[in-house]
């Protein structure tokens, strides 16, 4: 429910800003500033995920989101909302998400054994993808049927039962593992995570590949309001369907990863997704037929999800629990660089139009994926090295140094 609320808020906020400013750039900007805190605060989120109760962090993060969304909902419902207020509250919302997301992701490994981790991560991303389906579809329906303020009200109300549910889950505390306690300074703790990744060619390659997709492939999602209104001319209701179809493809991708979850299979899925994603985005960008666009969005969601899920799963499997939060936080920092692509796409859309700008971004994503796969040989041998990496890195880096 927390993730449903998150995706509802994203899609509703984009439509709100488009309605207020009539600017494609501002649509990408509002989503971009929401991700900027990932760049700044994810590393700290990773540290607290490795030394504090992850359950407490998750509850605190959702409670903070409730406070932010209550304010935003009140401003919209009373029709006094201004653009700067939406941007300010978006930054706050993104900050809470950035601090809590490493704990949310790392909690999967806290609950499951290592042999069950690939399936558990796939299930986690399936839930994430289901929320990606339900959130935009629900937001589009509510905007179309009840007006702009209702999605924000529903978004914060969903977080109340989410907190109650989290409170019932037993999540082990990693703080004592391998001496990674609070006696180590925050900066030194962050440095340990960076050192771990620096000494792991596989993790470094996975993070670079994920960064490429985040900067050049992910931004297409924030342009959906522009495509719905200006290109396909289907309004808020059509926007909800577009988001829902993308989410349906993402669910199919997550289930595919859940079935094919061995390291060798994950590597193949990551290659297929990384290369196919760019092609799919280019084809969607030039489609002017609504039904065809929906089909392309389904495949885009599918390819994006098999790429990101397999990439994310491999990072989780390779990283031991005592440092997993910090490793995952570096991956979240990569997400924090997503606004670079979003702002670039928004600016280019103002000059060349959304379809051409989106197509160029998709083409760059495709080219970079192919270059990285060639330039980082360890990504082609990940299945042979995944099990060895854990043992080697646990002995090569002493977390108490």
In order of 137, 139, 214, 292, 315, the CA distances from 210 in angstroms are 27, 28, 6, 28, 10
Instruction: DSSP letter for 381, please.
Output: S
pLDDT in tens, the chain (401 residues): 788 888 889 889 988 998 999 888 898 889 888 888 887 787 788 788 777 888 888 899 999 999 999 999 999 999 999 999 999 999 999 898 888 887 887 777 667 666 666 667 767 766 766 676 678 778 888 888 888 999 999 999 999 998 998 888 777 666 444 444 455 677 787 788 888 888 877 888 888 898 899 899 988 988 888 999 899 999 878 888 898 898 788 888 878 887 887 777 888 899 899 999 999 999 999 999 999 999 999 999 999 989 988 888 888 777 776 777 778 777 777 777 777 888 899 889 989 999 999 999 999 999 999 998 888 877 766 655 555 544 444 444 444 44
* pLDDT confidence of residue 384: 52
Angstrom distance (rounded) from CA 93 to CA 76: 16
Q: Taking the chain, what is the end-to-end CA distance rounded to the nearest angstrom?
A: 40
Q: Is 205 helix (H, G, I), strand (E, B) or coil?
A: helix
Instruction: DSSP letter for 223, please.
Output: G
* pLDDT confidence of residue 179: 42
Residue 293's contacts (CB-CB under 8 Å, 6 or more residues apart) are 227, 232, 242, 284, 287
* pLDDT confidence of residue 394: 43
Task: Give Dmax over CA atoms of the chain in angstroms.
Answer: 59
Angstrom distance (rounded) from CA 289 to CA 307: 27
Contact assessment for residue 224 and residue 243, using Cβ atoms and an 8 Å cutoff: yes
Helix/strand number for the chain, H first, E second = 16, 0
Q: By C-alpha distance, which of 176, 38, 110 is closest to 316? A: 110
DSSP states of 45-97: HHHHHHHS-HHHHHHHHHHHHHHHHHHHHHHHHTT---HHHHHHHHHHHHHHH
Domains of the chain: 2-168+185-396 (1.20.1250.20)
DSSP states of 276-320: HHHHHHHHHHT---HHHHHHHHHHHHHHHHHHHHHHHHHHHHHS-
Q: By C-alpha distance, which of 97, 94, 96, 110 is closest to 53? A: 110
């Amino acid at each position: 429910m927390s993730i449903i609320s998150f995706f509802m808020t994203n899609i509703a906020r984009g439509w709100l800003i488009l309605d207020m400013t009539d600017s494609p750039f501002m649509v990408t900007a509002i989503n971009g500033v929401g991700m900027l805190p990932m760049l700044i605060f994810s590393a700290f989120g990773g540290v607290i995920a490795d030394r504090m109760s992850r359950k407490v962090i998750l509850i605190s993060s959702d409670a903070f989101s409730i406070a932010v969304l209550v304010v935003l909902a009140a401003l919209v419902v009373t029709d006094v909302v201004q653009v700067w207020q939406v941007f300010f509250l978006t930054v706050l919302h993104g900050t809470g998400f950035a601090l809590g997301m490493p704990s949310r992701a790392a909690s999967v490994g806290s609950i499951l054994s290592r042999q069950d981790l690939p399936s558990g991560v796939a299930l986690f991303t399936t839930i994430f993808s289901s929320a990606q389906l339900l959130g935009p579809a629900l937001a589009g329906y509510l905007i179309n049927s009840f007006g702009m303020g209702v999605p924000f009200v529903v978004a914060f109300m969903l977080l109340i039962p989410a907190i109650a549910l989290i409170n019932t889950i037993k999540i082990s505390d990693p703080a004592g593992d391998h001496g990674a306690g609070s006696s180590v300074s925050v900066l030194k703790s962050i440095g340990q995570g960076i050192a771990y990744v620096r000494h792991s060619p596989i993790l470094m390659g996975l993070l670079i590949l994920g960064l490429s997709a985040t900067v050049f492939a992910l931004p297409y999602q924030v342009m959906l309001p522009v495509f719905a209104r200006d290109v396909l001319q289907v309004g808020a209701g059509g926007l909800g369907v577009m988001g829902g179809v993308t989410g349906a493809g993402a669910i199919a991708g997550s289930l595919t990863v859940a079935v094919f979850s061995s390291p060798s299979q994950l590597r193949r899925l990551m290659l297929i997704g990384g290369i196919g994603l760019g092609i799919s985005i280019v084809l969607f960008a030039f489609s002017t037929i609504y039904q065809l666009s929906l089909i392309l969005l389904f495949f885009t969601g599918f390819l994006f999800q098999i790429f990101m899920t397999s990439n994310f799963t491999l990072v989780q499997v390779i990283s031991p629990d005592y440092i997993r939060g910090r490793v995952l936080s570096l991956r979240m920092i990569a997400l924090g660089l997503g606004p670079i692509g979003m702002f670039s796409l928004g600016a280019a859309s103002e000059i060349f139009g959304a379809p051409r700008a989106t197509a160029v971004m998709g083409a760059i994503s495709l080219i970079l994926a192919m270059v990285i796969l060639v330039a980082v040989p360890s990504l082609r041998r990940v299945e042979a090295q995944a099990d060895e990496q854990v043992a080697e890195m646990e002995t090569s880096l002493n977390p108490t140094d």
